[in-house]
Amino acid sequence: MGKALEVIGLSKRFLGLQALKEVSLHLEEGEILAVIGPNGAGKSTLLNLLSGLIKPDQGRILLLGRDISHLPPETRTHLGLGRAFQIVQPFPELSVRENLLVGALFGKPGLKRKEAEAWVAEVLDLTGLAPRAEALAGELTLLEDKRLELARALATRPKVLLLDEVMAGLRPKEAEEAVALVRRIRDSGVSVLFIEHLMPVVRALADRVVVLDHGEVIAEGTYEKVAQEERVREAYLGRRA
């Protein structure tokens, strides 16, 4: 097993704010990695850099060994990097199936429609959305919306999937279902990096955890290991030496 995603010395400054400072981390193939940290730690900046929405000041991003540091978002998608957002924005006037078909055709240019439709059927089954395939996206429940956001990202056939607080707003039972779905996605051959504020979700889902604070990595390891580290507790509780 190799590295699905590797970040080497990544830095980003916005005016006077150092959002990320020489961050290095990696995601193994077949792994579920959580990136956590208090508000302002740099988590969203990291995801925006990984997905190509903003450009790094320095550092490199490798996707399956290929340097994607300065490639546009659509090229990263074509190479196998998918992202699901916290704020779900499907095409409300299209059906669930049609939303996924858009993702499938965008994710792999030149894909024939029949091949795209066959892949969409697999994604519908994997995400449990098959019974709602013909429903309009604008008519879905919050949990179904979250499933659709994950399914749209999966439709692009990612090898690495970035998840941005996709559990936000879910009730505990719904969050459990979403955790099970992310595990199924991993088991289907997709490596997953996710940002999350809900610690029970992180504990249940992550193989490994990276902790950011003030734009720097302050801890890395299993959930149990990082939860015991003094710097992590200080970052979350606001105590400074």
Domain residue ranges in the chain: 3-237
d(CA 156, CA 102): 9
Q: Are 7 and 70 within 8 A, CB to CB?
A: no
Please state, in angstroms and rounded to a whole number, the distance separating the CA atoms of residues 98 and 43. 31
Q: What is the pLDDT of residue 166?
A: 86
pLDDT tens figures, 197-219: 889 999 999 999 999 999 999 99
Please tell me the predicted confidence (pLDDT) of residue 139: 93
**Residue-level pLDDT at 238:** 64
**Residue with structure tokens 């200080």?**
234
Pick the CATH number of 3-237 from 3.40.50.920, 3.40.50.300, 3.40.250.10, 3.40.50.720: 3.40.50.300
CA distances from 112 to 104, 108, 109, 116, 209 (A): 10, 9, 9, 6, 39
Q: What percentage of the chain carries pLDDT values higher than 90?
A: 75
Contact 190, 161 (CB under 8 A): yes
State which amino acid sits at residue 91.
Answer: F
CA distances in angstroms from 83 to 16, 158, 228, 230, 238, listed in the order given? 28, 9, 30, 32, 31
pTM exceeding 0.85: yes
Contact (CB, 8 A) for 77 and 106: yes
pLDDT at residue 241, rounded to an integer: 38
Residue with tokens 């719904």: 174
Locate 109 and state its tokens.
Answer: 């240019």
φ, ψ (nearest 5 deg) of residue 23: -80, 130
Q: pLDDT value at position 41? A: 93
pLDDT by position in tens, the chain (length 241): 799 999 999 999 998 899 999 999 999 999 999 999 998 899 999 999 999 999 999 999 999 999 999 999 999 999 999 998 876 778 899 999 999 999 898 877 788 899 999 999 999 999 999 999 999 999 999 889 989 999 999 999 999 999 998 888 888 898 899 999 999 999 999 999 999 988 999 999 999 999 999 999 999 999 999 999 999 988 876 654 3
Residue 167 and residue 207: Cα distance in Å, rounded?
A: 17
3-class state of residue 41 by DSSP: coil
